[in-house]
A and B are shown apart, each in its own frame.
Chain A
Amino acid sequence: MTATPLALPTTAVKVSLFRRLLTHPTGVVSLLVLFLVAVASALAPLLATHDPNTASLQDVLAKAGSEHLLGADSAGRDVLSRLLFAGQFSLAGALLALSVALVIGVTAGLIAGYYGGWFDSASSWLTGLTMALPGMVVLLAARAVLGPSMWLSMMIFGVLLSPAFFRLVYASVTAVRNELYVDAARVSGLSDFRIIGRHILTVVRAPVIIQSAMVLGIAIAIQAGLEFLGLGDLNIPTWGSMLNDGFINIFKSPTLVLWPSLMIGLVCIALTLLANAMRDELERSRGPVKKSRKAAAAAAAADAEGAAEKRGAAAVVHPDEPAGAENSNAGELLLEVTDLGVGYDQPDGSTTHVVNHVGLTVRRGEVHGLVGESGSGKTQTAFSILRLLPQGGRITGGSIFFEGKDLAHLSEKEMTRVRGKRIAYIPQEPMSNLDGAFTIGSQLTEPMRVCLGLSKAEARNRALALLAKVGIPNPERTFNAYPHQVSGGMAQRVLIAGAVSCEPDLLIADEPTTALDVTVQAEVLNLLRELQDELNMGVILVTHNFGVVADLCDRVTVMQTGRVVETGPVRAIFNNAQHPYTRQLLDAILEDTAPRGQYTTAGHNPAEKTAEPKELKGVTS
């Protein structure tokens, strides 16, 4: 029964909203219903067969028939005629409430949003005040003092509804006020009046129209409610007062209550659906939704996929060095990814492939670098090993053998047992990967209690020990802190502690240092190396940074556009890179080489690519 302003988009209308509504099915139907009701009400004097207020004793509660098409009410008045005339009053009352709300809400919102200052705080406070009592109770109190005037009630309700517009306009104006084009208008000497009219009203117009439809529905509902209680003006027919009469006589003539209910319900539903249709159209016209970075990268990979397909490029594979050389600590085979494909289902039913025929192996105690630019599919490969692809993504082919089990075909339940305890994950961005609602301690201990079955006290001790181990100076304090109270470097250490807390066999680190300061990066890499040594884990290190690879990795797999282009022991890659893309990545970090050449996509003509050359990041990024 109260105005619940829904979240509304605040965009300027570019094409006429009305014209676009005509292509929206529910929009058209709602408009048609509202139009018919409005016309029928306006033409009531012509359409009605009886006077709406003339009582007739012999027609009391008359059945529907040729004399009274929809019957007659408890005073013998013609129901159809009353319904038509009531439409006039009910709609006019609701429109009155809407106008009052619009005038107050929009004006106050513009002034408060544009000028700010005391008016701003005062109106925000008043807004809070009008929302603090149920509208119905305020209207009843007002009715006790002012008497049964529908018009007065609707004006007061308009005041109560004005915050719905105030908040909308206020939010839009404060958002626009400091935009550059408004500044420019101000600098070029336009008056405030012109600026508001020209730049700000266009922004709030569409959301205000949508909100108006909602408010109109609410006003009709509350007015009907008030009249239904028998507190309205008895001299004018309204749908609410007809409802009251019908409900009193519900045993004698059940259809009496039906007709006004239908009208109120129909109009309210039509108004709400209309508002929704307008919102749909408005959102659609905002143009293609800005793609998330991952989705954009995925799309880029997919675009390049065609070229890769034509090329049919076989990856350059460097043979393993004789045992006993660099990677002497490498143990038995831990993970074997073969022919992996990852795809995203599109709304049109097709699938966009972002990873194709990728293979890689990780041995126990070995750090395997997965290198490539953004969109090369390295993170998608990592997520599919964890079986944690973003929504819509799925493994389209191949196998992921981990200790004899194919992870690609495990059930979700079995996979949950593998995650954390056997395969762990360190994310890229430390802050967003901690849940801000829980303390660091509870986020560290919860998985330990679930995966290892530890008691609360055991998990706590273990967490404190882990925090100390990852180099956090005051573990107790960090344990009790919330994520927003620690620095990014600290948060990344916490995430590393969490990842190794269940002593996994395989650790997947997704650019674990990218979001950190340069000095912290080195410390975190050292920490990773220490932990890897100590726990003898296999590690997949996703990075775009060959400096990190040189520092940490035993083997490297270079990916481009969703495929493996070169793979082998780190020494072989550094000394004898075969693939042009690998060489390019290497050139980007070596200081004593010639300036890097133009970006190429694996040998095919760079001119085909319309995108600008991508800057490859250097050692420290």
Chain B
Amino acid sequence: MYRFVLRRLFAGVLLLFVITTVAYLMLYAGGGDIARRIVGPTASDAQVALKASQLGLDRPLVVQYWDWLTSALTGDLGRSWFTGQLVSVGVSSRLSVTVSLVLGAVIIAALISVVIGVWAAVRRGWVDRVVQFVGVLGFAIPGFLIALGLVSLFALNLKWFKATGYVPISTSFGGWAATVTLPIIALSIGCIAAVVQQVRGSLIDALRQDYVRTLRARGLSFNRVVYKHVLRNAGGPALAVLAVQFIGLLGGAVIVEQIFALPGLGQITVAATGQGDIPVVMGVVVATAAIVVTVNLIIDLAQGWLNPKVRLS
């Protein structure tokens, strides 16, 4: 078990390293003359050279990267070229908003998917067909369209929720819940649609297994067998889909945060992207990659817990 965890951990760190390296090289070498872009097309060559040396852009790329990597390992991701703010501060102060959104959406999606997936797989018939059809629709409609629909219906017309704004969870849970309810619904619908299909499919397969009959023949109730045994066996593929969905939600959150004016990672990303503020963009990439690697690690461990063959091999 320790070796399993260590192996996954090492793979995660390696992935993080590769992603950040590739991202750094592409961001700093991919766009041509960065200093020229910052000071503008009308500036003189001397001004461009000055800017480049100020930002350390006149050094060889490898040196710049080594410098960035060694600072990054100490938690220093540099400063924004435009506001001068520390990137680590800018990113981490917004991280909690995005993470609470995405985590909330994933947890809600997982719970609802299991309930609906079990329902469809056990009842079959018309229940199954309705779930399948609604699932296809939920999967097809882009999340931000759902967000727009929710804003105009519940916030602008019915005025049940405020359309914009954010209250940190540490200030007031009720306030937080009121501000994130619509965004989380918008994010989770597509996720539910995808995960329900997987839960339903693997449950139907797992329900056909011989051990289901044998366990019931030993006096366990159908529900107990389904929720304890069948669901655990069907959980692996569903978790894999949930992991993919989680990564997708991090991207979807960028747009949803924009619609609900939430001060999350998405906001800082959009601003930095528009300006070409490379250190901030790089900081966002590092933060996102770290979240993805962490989530993958957690999912891997959960897979090992669900399936002893994964853990023991």
A271 and B140 alpha carbons, distance in the complex (Å): 8
Interface status of B298 (Cβ within 8 A of chain A): no
* Nearest CB in chain B to that of A272: its residue: B140
Interface status of B156 (Cβ within 8 A of chain A): yes
Residues of A within 8 Å of B137, CB to CB, are: 269
**B269 and A495 form a contact (CB under 8 A):** no
Chain B stretch 128-152: residues in CB contact (< 8 A) with chain A: 136-137, 139-145, 148-149, 151-152
Residues of B within 8 Å of A269, CB to CB, are: 137, 140-141
- Of the listed stretches A54-62, A217-225, A301-309, A457-465, name the one at the interface; the rest are far from the partner chain: A217-225
**A144 and B247 form a contact (CB under 8 A):** no
* Nearest CB in chain A to that of B122: its residue: A391
Interface status of B7 (Cβ within 8 A of chain A): no
**A435 and B281 form a contact (CB under 8 A):** no
Chain B window 238-262, contacts with chain A (Cβ cutoff 8 Å), 1 for yes, 0 for no: 0001001101111110110011000
Chain B residues near A (Cβ < 8 Å): 15, 18-19, 22-23, 26-27, 30-31, 124, 136-137, 139-145, 148-149, 151-152, 156, 190, 194, 197, 201, 207, 209-211, 213-222, 224, 229, 232-233, 241, 244-245, 247-252, 254-255, 258-259, 269-270, 272-274, 276-278, 281, 284-285, 288-289, 292-293, 296, 306-309, 312
* Nearest CB in chain B to that of A257: its residue: B148
A356 and B230 alpha carbons, distance in the complex (Å): 33
- Cross-chain contact of A250 among B156, B209, B217, B255 (Cβ < 8 A): B156
- Cross-chain contact of A136 among B136, B210, B255, B308 (Cβ < 8 A): B255
Interface status of A134 (Cβ within 8 A of chain B): yes
| Closest chain A CB from B263 CB (angstroms) | 16
**B217 and A417 form a contact (CB under 8 A):** no
Interface status of A1 (Cβ within 8 A of chain B): yes
A434 and B18 alpha carbons, distance in the complex (Å): 42
| Closest chain A CB from B114 CB (angstroms) | 16
Known: A2-B245, A7-B201. 19 other contacts (CB 8 A): A1-B251, A6-B197, A132-B247, A141-B26, A141-B27, A224-B144, A229-B270, A247-B148, A247-B259, A250-B151, A254-B152, A261-B148, A416-B219, A416-B221, A420-B217, A433-B210, A437-B306, A495-B214, A498-B214
* Nearest CB in chain B to that of A141: its residue: B281
A2 and B247 alpha carbons, distance in the complex (Å): 8
| Closest chain A CB from B16 CB (angstroms) | 9
A427 and B229 alpha carbons, distance in the complex (Å): 18
Interface status of A591 (Cβ within 8 A of chain B): no
- Cross-chain contact of A437 among B142, B144, B308 (Cβ < 8 A): B308
Residues of B within 8 Å of A64, CB to CB, are: none
Residues of B within 8 Å of A151, CB to CB, are: none
| Closest chain B CB from A265 CB (angstroms) | 5
A225 and B270 alpha carbons, distance in the complex (Å): 12
**A412 and B222 form a contact (CB under 8 A):** yes
- Of the listed stretches A183-191, A283-291, A326-334, A443-451, name the one at the interface; the rest are far from the partner chain: A443-451
- Cross-chain contact of B140 among A217, A250, A450 (Cβ < 8 A): A217
Residues of A within 8 Å of B248, CB to CB, are: 1-2, 4, 134-135
Chain A stretch 236-290: residues in CB contact (< 8 A) with chain B: 243, 247, 250-251, 254, 257, 261, 264-265, 268-269, 271-273, 276
A412 and B223 alpha carbons, distance in the complex (Å): 11
**B19 and A129 form a contact (CB under 8 A):** yes
Residues of A within 8 Å of B288, CB to CB, are: 133-134, 137
- 14 residue pairs from A and B, CB less than 8 Å apart: A132-B289, A134-B248, A135-B248, A137-B284, A137-B285, A144-B276, A144-B281, A146-B30, A225-B142, A228-B255, A231-B270, A272-B140, A416-B216, A435-B233
Interface status of A570 (Cβ within 8 A of chain B): no
Interface status of A482 (Cβ within 8 A of chain B): yes
Interface status of A436 (Cβ within 8 A of chain B): yes
| Closest chain A CB from B208 CB (angstroms) | 8
Interface status of A86 (Cβ within 8 A of chain B): no
**B309 and A145 form a contact (CB under 8 A):** no
**A143 and B247 form a contact (CB under 8 A):** no
Residues of B within 8 Å of A413, CB to CB, are: 221
Chain A window 491-505, contacts with chain B (Cβ cutoff 8 Å), 1 for yes, 0 for no: 000010011011000
- Cross-chain contact of A134 among B241, B251, B276, B293 (Cβ < 8 A): B251
**A421 and B274 form a contact (CB under 8 A):** no
**B27 and A437 form a contact (CB under 8 A):** no
A251 and B220 alpha carbons, distance in the complex (Å): 58
User: Is the interface on chain A under 10, 10 to 19, 20 to 34, or 35 or more residues?
Assistant: 35 or more
| Closest chain B CB from A273 CB (angstroms) | 6
Main secondary structure of the interface of B (DSSP, over half): helix
Interface status of A438 (Cβ within 8 A of chain B): yes
Residues of B within 8 Å of A229, CB to CB, are: 254-255, 258, 270
Q: Given A4-B245, A419-B219, A437-B229: A268 and B140 within 8 A (CB)?
A: yes
Give the most central of B216, B245, B273, B284: most A CB within 10 Å: B273
- Cross-chain contact of B218 among A6, A424, A437 (Cβ < 8 A): A424
**B273 and A141 form a contact (CB under 8 A):** yes
* Nearest CB in chain B to that of A2: its residue: B248
**B220 and A482 form a contact (CB under 8 A):** no
**7 interchain residue pairs of minimum CB distance:** A420-B219, A136-B251, A134-B251, A2-B248, A145-B31, A272-B140, A425-B217
| Closest chain B CB from A538 CB (angstroms) | 16
Interface status of A432 (Cβ within 8 A of chain B): yes
| Closest chain B CB from A563 CB (angstroms) | 24
**A133 and B285 form a contact (CB under 8 A):** yes
Interface status of A131 (Cβ within 8 A of chain B): yes
Residues of A within 8 Å of B22, CB to CB, are: 129
Residues of B within 8 Å of A423, CB to CB, are: 217
**A435 and B152 form a contact (CB under 8 A):** no
**A135 and B251 form a contact (CB under 8 A):** yes
Residues of A within 8 Å of B216, CB to CB, are: 388, 416, 419
A85 and B152 alpha carbons, distance in the complex (Å): 26
* Nearest CB in chain A to that of B140: its residue: A272
Residues of B within 8 Å of A482, CB to CB, are: 308-309, 312
* Nearest CB in chain B to that of A226: its residue: B255
Q: Given A137-B284, A144-B273, A250-B152: A499 and B218 within 8 A (CB)?
A: yes
**A434 and B211 form a contact (CB under 8 A):** yes
**B252 and A136 form a contact (CB under 8 A):** yes
Residues of A within 8 Å of B145, CB to CB, are: 261, 264-265
| Closest chain A CB from B118 CB (angstroms) | 15
Residues of A within 8 Å of B194, CB to CB, are: 4
Residues of A within 8 Å of B213, CB to CB, are: 383, 388, 425, 427, 433
**B23 and A141 form a contact (CB under 8 A):** yes
A476 and B91 alpha carbons, distance in the complex (Å): 53
A140 and B257 alpha carbons, distance in the complex (Å): 15
Interface status of A429 (Cβ within 8 A of chain B): yes
Residues of A within 8 Å of B281, CB to CB, are: 140-141, 144
* Nearest CB in chain B to that of A416: its residue: B221
| Closest chain B CB from A428 CB (angstroms) | 8
Residues of B within 8 Å of A24, CB to CB, are: none
**B278 and A145 form a contact (CB under 8 A):** yes
**A132 and B19 form a contact (CB under 8 A):** yes
- Cross-chain contact of B247 among A134, A146, A383, A432 (Cβ < 8 A): A134
**B220 and A131 form a contact (CB under 8 A):** no
| Closest chain B CB from A8 CB (angstroms) | 13
* Nearest CB in chain A to that of B142: its residue: A221
* Nearest CB in chain A to that of B259: its residue: A247
| Closest chain B CB from A430 CB (angstroms) | 9
**A435 and B215 form a contact (CB under 8 A):** yes
Residues of A within 8 Å of B26, CB to CB, are: 141-142, 145
Give the most central of A140, A421, A443: most B CB within 10 Å: A140
